Amino acid sequence: MHLIKHLLLFTQNNFKQLKRKWLSLPLIILFPIILTGLCALIAVSIFIPDEQDPLQIGLVDKDKSEETKMVVDLIESSSQLGNYIQINNLTSEQADKQIDNQLSAYITFPKGFTESLYNGNPVTLHITGNPDKRTESYVVKELSDSIARHIRTSQANILTINYYAKQLEMGEKTRDDMLFNQFTNFILYTVGKDKIIDEEKITNNATNSTLHYYGLAGWFIITSVWLLAFYSFFTKNEELRIKNRMRLYGVTQIRQILAKMISAFTVTIISASITFIVLIRLTDITLLTEDFLRIAFIVSAYSISFLLGLAVLETIFTGQKIRLLMQSLFTFTVILLSGALIPTLYFPLYLQEVLPYSFPSIGFHWLQEVSLNSRAYVDFIPMLLLMTAGTLVFVGLSMWKERVSQ
Amino acid sequence: MRQILSTRFIHWKKQGFSLTFWLFFPLLATIGIVMITNTLQEDAKVPVGLVINEETEATSQLLQEIKSTPFVRVKQLSEDDALYNLKKHDLDSVFVIHEGFADKIRKDNRSMLITGYQSDSSFAYAPVKEMILSYVQQETGRSKAVYTVKDLEQQYNGNNGWTYNEIVARSKEIQDDENLLETAFSFNDSPIDNTEKIHVFSVWGLWAIFSFLATLLLFDWVIKERHSKAIMRLTFTQFTLKTYLLYNLIIYTILLFAVDLLTISLFYLFYGEWISIINLIIYRILINLGAFLLAHLFKKQFLYYTISFGLTLFLTVSSGAVLPTGIFTDLSWFDFFNPLLPLLKGKFITLWSMSVLFFSIIWFFTKEKFHA
């Protein structure tokens, strides 16, 4: 009975503290939302490049032969790459000047490029990137790697034609002209490579769209950060004397932590349900009452396991700074493992084997299934098992610590 | 000064473990994260489904080449299975190789050889498609060369009887033997060797954020000193509170700077990345002053810690040192406040540095609280 009395007392204490410091409540609630919003904006701007602000790439032609001029003109005027990339023909000095601000990268065709191409000598294309625009420079690098691959194969084929042509009775000039013709042909051939593939896009309207997935993932991340924030909010660092007094009354560390967990859980669940309903309304997902019950269960089981993890870390680490560091690391790992940031499909194989045993991935997986894929069945048993395991670990650690410190 | 130094040493003896941990935390954390991301990046693969509708040498060669690509994990399935998995989002994309693939290539007909399916959450469809296209293009290009050679042969009445396979073999030989075209990538200021791995995160950006956090956390001595009961005794010594705090600040700056020099040498050894020392000095001084002033606002240590974690998180996301900023490249609204700029870009005069200097000057001229 003392357990329940103490729990009630501490929980009441926590809520009184919340009422006293009610000003910090909006701050804690808004902070993860702002942060996630910023991340979402950044992610959107990476994956959907701004059409008004295309990638600027420069081409510097130091060779100035007919072939390179033709290639540069062709690349500059081809709209194959769409509005996302704009290619400009520049001189070396212009490129040097512009590399620091607008240009993402520039490609240099060195002197003697065409000659070496025809004779089969090794040639290096230099790509200089803008250190301020790192990701875009890498996109350009990938692009130029694939261009180089195409040119390499065309070059091999042209050289083959040259080899066999030398064995025929062709005049030198005719052969050179023919080679030039072949060069043009192969360039056009490369440009037309999309003929090979017939592209289709499958959309599955019954299940999720990207927006829904990321909306749900964002809500999931925000809830986890709220759990951490409220848990830290209710943490008090008491002096040694008060701790000793409390021990005299039979209050163990475990009851305080349990009370913290209960208060953090309640507050987070309230705010999370409000935001979840807002999310559902915004994205037009239809859910039945039983779906809501299932989601409530999944989210509660996930939150309790998460809070248990935080509690275990609190018992192990007594130093405040290190405890905070470990708890933030724990939160970050949990969010990463759940698949909210990067879908679990892209994890390495050895990580994917661990996933069925970790509560974040199970939680997020079932959350997805119920809300986005309209699944009617949820397997409760793994989550319950993990929760019980977590509780046992926590209780054991805490009791062991009490013994040791006495 | 010597007395303050010995007092500080007494404190440090008690906090030995915590102090060393937070001093070396930026260094270790940066190295750890770079190592982890490099390993994970090598192992993170895109699952792609391949459906092969005919069994010829050309298709099995194509399959081998695709399987040997580093960033793709290939699953060979039947068409129905593959499309079903794609709809379930278990696969990133599906490519179907139709019947008559080998024949069509032989006849130099390259239209509609492959069908590619992507779903609406496919991230890697475009690069994988490009890669497959380049392999197929190799084969069709060789075929085209054969027909050109045969045309020339007929045109010049040669009767050498070169066969299809012979010409294709010659083309492959030339491609393998001669190292034909290479690309070299470098940034303007620091040339990166092409064989060296390019890191996903910039090393100095990571280190800047972690050292920001570590500095903020290390400066909790300000809170402890200002709110300890023993501080009143200072009035009976030759030091005022301000000089006491100032001397401690100098001690901490020297200690942190020594660790920074160690960091620079280690990073240069491991990763070949260098940064100018002036940037580092100014960054260190500004960060220390900033943490010093920030710690004056707090009474409880725990609140200060949570705020420092929150600030660091905010800084990570918005400053673009670690994550690439898409929108903010032009507006750069955050550049006014960005504490990391002096280190990463060498811009010393920003709103941030000016306000830090301004507030430290104000602090220096405030009235003393305790008088004897």
Q: What is the pLDDT of residues A323-342, one digit of tens each?
A: 899 999 999 999 888 887 77
Give which of A42, A81, A233, A344 to mutate to test B binding, by max B Cβ within 10 Å. A42
Q: Does B137 touch chain A (CB under 8 A)?
A: yes
Check pLDDT > 90 for residue A374: no
DSSP lists the bridge partners of residue A199 as B116
Alpha carbon A308 to its chain centroid, in Å, reads: 26
Option in B133, B156, B309 nearest A169 (CB): B156
Q: Does B369 touch chain A (CB under 8 A)?
A: no
Give which of B121, B181, B303 to mutate to test A binding, by max A Cβ within 10 Å. B181
Option in B116, B118, B184 nearest A126 (CB): B184
Q: For A177-191, A362-376, B233-247, which range has the lowest pLDDT when averaged over its residues? A: A177-191
Q: What is the pLDDT of residue B195?
A: 40
With an 8 Å Cβ cutoff, are A130 and B187 in contact? Answer: yes
Q: What is the pLDDT of residues B100-112, one digit of tens each?
A: 877 877 777 777 7
SS (H, E, C) chain B: CHHHHHHHHHHHHHCHHHHHHHHHHHHHHHHHHHHHHHHHHHHCCEEEEEEECCCCHHHHHHHHHHHCCCCEEEEECCHHHHHHHHHCCCCCEEEEECCCHHHHHHCCCCCCCEEEEEECCCCCHHHHHHHHHHHHHHHHHHHHHHHHHHHHHHHCCCCCCCCHHHHHHHHHHHHHHCCCEEEEEEECCCCCCCCCCCCCCCHHHHHHHHHHHHHHHHCCHHHHHHCCHHHHHHHHCCCCHHHHHHHHHHHHHHHHHHHHHHHHHHHHHHHCCCCCHHHHHHHHHHHHHHHHHHHCCCCCHHHHHHHHHHHHHHHHHHHCCCCCCCCHHHHCHHHHCCCCHHHHCCCCCCHHHHHHHHHHHHHHCCCCCCCC
Count contacts between A and B (CB, < 8 Å): 260
- B residues 294-323 closer than 8 Å to A (CB): 301-302, 305-306, 309-310, 313-314, 317-318, 323
Q: What is the pLDDT of residue A245?
A: 80
What does the buried/exposed string (b/e) look like for A229-249 if buried means 16 or more CB atoms within 10 Å of the residue's CB? bbbbbbbeeeeeeeeeebeee
Q: Does B365 touch chain A (CB under 8 A)?
A: no
Please give the Cα distance from A359 to A350 (Å, whole number): 17
The helix or strand, by DSSP H or E, that contains position A16, with its residue range, turns out to be helix A2-20
With an 8 Å Cβ cutoff, are B111 and A142 in contact? Answer: no
Q: For A198-212, A218-232, A282-296, which range has the lowest pLDDT when averaged over its residues? A: A198-212
Q: What is the pLDDT of residues B102-157, one digit of tens each?
A: 787 777 777 777 788 877 667 677 777 777 777 777 777 778 877 777 777 777 76
Question: Which residue, chain included where needed, has tokens 């294709």?
Answer: B168
Check pLDDT > 90 for residue B314: no
Q: What percent of chain B has pLDDT over 70?
A: 81
With an 8 Å Cβ cutoff, are A160 and B137 in contact? Answer: no
Q: What is the pLDDT of residues A294-305, one digit of tens each?
A: 888 889 999 999
State the nearest Cα–Cα gap between B305 and chain A, in angstroms: 7
The Cβ-side half-sphere exposure at A46, using a 13 Å CA radius, reads 17
Check pLDDT > 60 for residue B372: no
Q: What percent of chain A has pLDDT over 70?
A: 80
State the nearest Cα–Cα gap between B300 and chain A, in angstroms: 10
Q: Please list every residue in chain A whose beta carbon sits closer than 8 Å to the beta carbon of residue B127.
A: 142
With an 8 Å Cβ cutoff, are A153 and B175 in contact? Answer: yes
Q: Please list every residue in chain B whose beta carbon sits closer than 8 Å to the beta carbon of residue A320.
A: 301-302, 305
Q: Which residue of A has its CA nearest to B114?
A: A197
Please give the Cα distance from B320 to A133 (Å, whole number): 10
With an 8 Å Cβ cutoff, are A122 and B182 in contact? Answer: yes
Q: Does B80 touch chain A (CB under 8 A)?
A: no
Q: Please list every residue in chain B whose beta carbon sits closer than 8 Å to the beta carbon of residue A190.
A: 137
Please give the Cα distance from B348 to B341 (Å, whole number): 8
State the nearest Cα–Cα gap between B314 and chain A, in angstroms: 7
Q: For A37-46, A271-280, A381-390, which range has the lowest pLDDT when averaged over its residues? A: A37-46
With an 8 Å Cβ cutoff, are B43 and A348 in contact? Answer: yes
Q: Does B149 touch chain A (CB under 8 A)?
A: yes
Question: Could you tell me the pLDDT band of residue B69, with boundaries at 50, 70 and 90?
Answer: confident
> A88, A59 in Cβ contact below 8 A?
yes
Q: Residue A361 — left, alpha, or beta (φ > 0 → left; ψ -120 to 50 → alpha)?
A: alpha
Higher pLDDT, A123 or A316: A316
| 3 state SS of A35 | helix
Residue A59 in tokens: 């081409």
Q: Please list every residue in chain B whose beta carbon sits closer than 8 Å to the beta carbon of residue A58.
A: none
Q: Please list every residue in chain A whose beta carbon sits closer than 8 Å to the beta carbon of residue B138.
A: 153
Amino acid at B323: L
With an 8 Å Cβ cutoff, are B182 and A124 in contact? Answer: yes
Among residues A123, A183, A125, which one has the least CA distance to residue A157? Answer: A183
With an 8 Å Cβ cutoff, are A161 and B145 in contact? Answer: yes
Q: Does B187 touch chain A (CB under 8 A)?
A: yes
Enter the ipTM: 0.80
Q: Enter the DSSP assignment of A54.
A: P
Please give the Cα distance from B263 to B28 (Å, whole number): 10
Please give the Cα distance from A207 to B252 (Å, whole number): 57
Give pTM, 2 decimals.
0.79
Option in B90, B133, B202 nearest A197 (CB): B133
With an 8 Å Cβ cutoff, are B167 and A182 in contact? Answer: no
Q: What is the pLDDT of residues B284-301, one digit of tens each?
A: 888 899 899 999 888 888
With an 8 Å Cβ cutoff, are A320 and B301 in contact? Answer: yes
Q: What is the pLDDT of residues B88-97, one digit of tens each?
A: 777 888 888 8
Q: What is the pLDDT of residue B28?
A: 92
> B183, A127 in Cβ contact below 8 A?
yes
Give which of B36, B43, B120, B314 to mutate to test A binding, by max A Cβ within 10 Å. B120
Helices A253-283 & A289-316, crossing angle to 10 degrees? 140
| 3 state SS of A132 | coil
